[in-house]
Amino acid sequence: MKFTKDTRALIYNFKANPVQRMLDFDYICKREKPSIAGLITPGSTGLHKAFFGGVEILLPIYPSIEEACKDQTDADVLINFASFRSAYDSSKKALEQDTINTVVIIAEGIPERMARELIDYSKKRNKMIIGPATVGGIQAGAFKIGNTAGTVDNIIACKLHRPGSVGFVSKSGGLSNEMYNMLAMTTDGLFEGIAVGGDAYPGSTLLEHALRFEQMPEVKMIVMLGELGGKDEYTIVEAKKQGKLKKPMVAWVTGTCAKVFPSDVQFGHAGAKSGAELETAEAKNKALAEAGIAVPNSFEDLDKKIAEVYQELVKDGTISPAKEVEPPMLPMDYKAAVSAGIVRKPSNFVCTISDDRGEEVTYGGVPISEIIENDSGIGDVISLLWFKKKIPRYGSKFIELVLIIAAEHGPCVSGAHNAIVASRAGKDLVSSVASGLLTIGPRFGGAIDDAARYFKDACDRGLSADEFVAEMKNKNKRIPGIGHRIKSAKNPDKRVELLKDYAKKNFPETKYLDFALSVEAETLKKANNLILNVDGCIGILFLDMMSSCECFSKKDTDEIVEIGYLNGLFVLARSIGLIGHVLDQKRLKAPLYRHPWDDVLFLNEE
């Protein structure tokens, strides 16, 4: 197994950050193709957006390991980010695939019996496992596994964007990153580094990777970092004595501090436990040194020992120091750039009614806790969200009165009819309600806005009732808000009476209502049903509420009427009734609605 610039991987149970870090490494190494061939999330499909340099790319997401391997035949590495609970099954499945040669298991805590079964299975199929409990590995300038080596800045500082001459193998992933930095300062840098993982039974051993480095002509010297516990380091000793490891080698076994403790010590890794004398760091370091491997006196002297061996190899011509390579500049992520204050971008949207970025949501600048503590009603909330103002209580109660009165007009109006038909046709709640709301217009609810516009214009111009009626007749336009199919002067609309009574008792003035009633007196001369209807009354009383309230300037009122705020009240109110109709149909389990033939008039043209 050898990683190259053509090595490609599948990532199981992927995380966005490791994926992007691998792609960033690919870019600064000047790879032609991203190292990630695909992502695997059990049961899911789709595409994951990521960046390859400054170009946005789409990585395919597969529902299973089998499907990913079948589609991405050039991917021979699977990086497994599964938890310890599912890492065994997914790793076993990956090892079963003919296209996968290396499985990297990140999870810690896999039961030792399962780990040993995976190792045995991989050996039988001549495949390699890196891990469990590993951060993976890296071949400088070619291929990186997951989060290995950290950020791009650290990778460049450690010269990992181009290959050096050192092969490094370690049990510790955290110390691997520290060692990459040390190698960059003492040698021409890393060629390949592997962290085998800290569990008691690693999928591949220190020796196996050291022997791989022995076969790589690019690797001129080997550095190994072991740790107390276990006997893996003694396999290195035997291989060195038998002449299997001929390249110059520097090694150190961490954990020499264990001797100062009065009892056995369990360090961070499962396999790093002080115990028998042969498993101590001192005994291992002594054996390594006796086998002819360069071993420093302490970890603090490790960099000096590495530099010493490296300089000898340079001096005798074994190593020609790698030339420095200027990596391409990686574009900065937008969020990072904004956070650093080096870019600015105009917002796509503007919101002035609410904000949820602080400790609590605010409506019109008022904390929601204050709204609740003040026992505010829905009318107060609407005034803050729609008008961005706190209006007097008589105004917010008027809004609530409108919602109550306009909530339901019966099942025969167009909105209710559409919602019922959609519901009985099997549509969901939201779709059914939307079909009813879409009928709101000049003949159903939309008269609120038009009534407010026309009556305000006429009243503000000082027209008399008869002049206004005559003007609308000359324009051949119906007066919005006047007229009802059923109600008449002798059979008044109770809703209109309730609204008028509330306004007369609570509003400081009702000049627009008074004008509308004088217009009604004129229209009643023509027909008994040309009365002020509920839509017209709501629009006109809104004018009175705003004009009598100090919260609204003339400009505010004109803008509210022009934009169409008032129809919004009808939409909100009617939503309540339409939802009721839809739920009623669902509860009744009404059959699919079909027009009977005798309800349809067919016009057949000759």
- Active site residues per annotation: 269
Give CA separation, 568 vs 101, 386, 512, 538, in Å.
63, 9, 20, 12
Residue with tokens 């019966």, as numbered in its chain:
410
Asked whether the beta carbons of 364 and 385 are under 8 A apart, the reply is yes
Query: d(Cα 459, Cα 518) in Å, to the nearest integer?
Result: 11
Asked whether the beta carbons of 37 and 72 are under 8 A apart, the reply is yes
Question: Quick one: tokens of 603?
Answer: 């016009």
Backbone angles phi, psi at 222, to 5 degrees: -120, 135
Query: d(Cα 450, Cα 446) in Å, to the nearest integer?
Result: 7
SS (H, E, C) 204-226: CCHHHHHHHHHHCCCCCEEEEEE
Cis peptide before 132 (omega within 30 of 0): yes
Asked whether the beta carbons of 293 and 236 are under 8 A apart, the reply is yes
Nearest residue to 516 via CA among 491, 490, 495, 542: 542
**Residue 341 DSSP one-character state:** T
HSE value, Cβ hemisphere, 13 Å, CA-based, for 8: 18
Asked whether the beta carbons of 75 and 10 are under 8 A apart, the reply is yes
Question: Quick one: tokens of 134?
Answer: 């590993």
SS3 category, 228: coil
Asked whether the beta carbons of 107 and 132 are under 8 A apart, the reply is yes
**Residue 593 DSSP one-character state:** P
Residue with tokens 């610039």, as numbered in its chain:
5
Query: d(Cα 151, Cα 17) in Å, to the nearest integer?
Result: 10
Q: What is the DSSP string of 448-462?
A: HHHHHHHHHHHHHTT
Give CA separation, 23 vs 30, 51, 65, 71, 77, in Å.
11, 7, 21, 20, 15
Query: d(Cα 226, Cα 254) in Å, to the nearest integer?
Result: 6
Helix axes 393-406, 565-588, angle to 10 degrees: 40
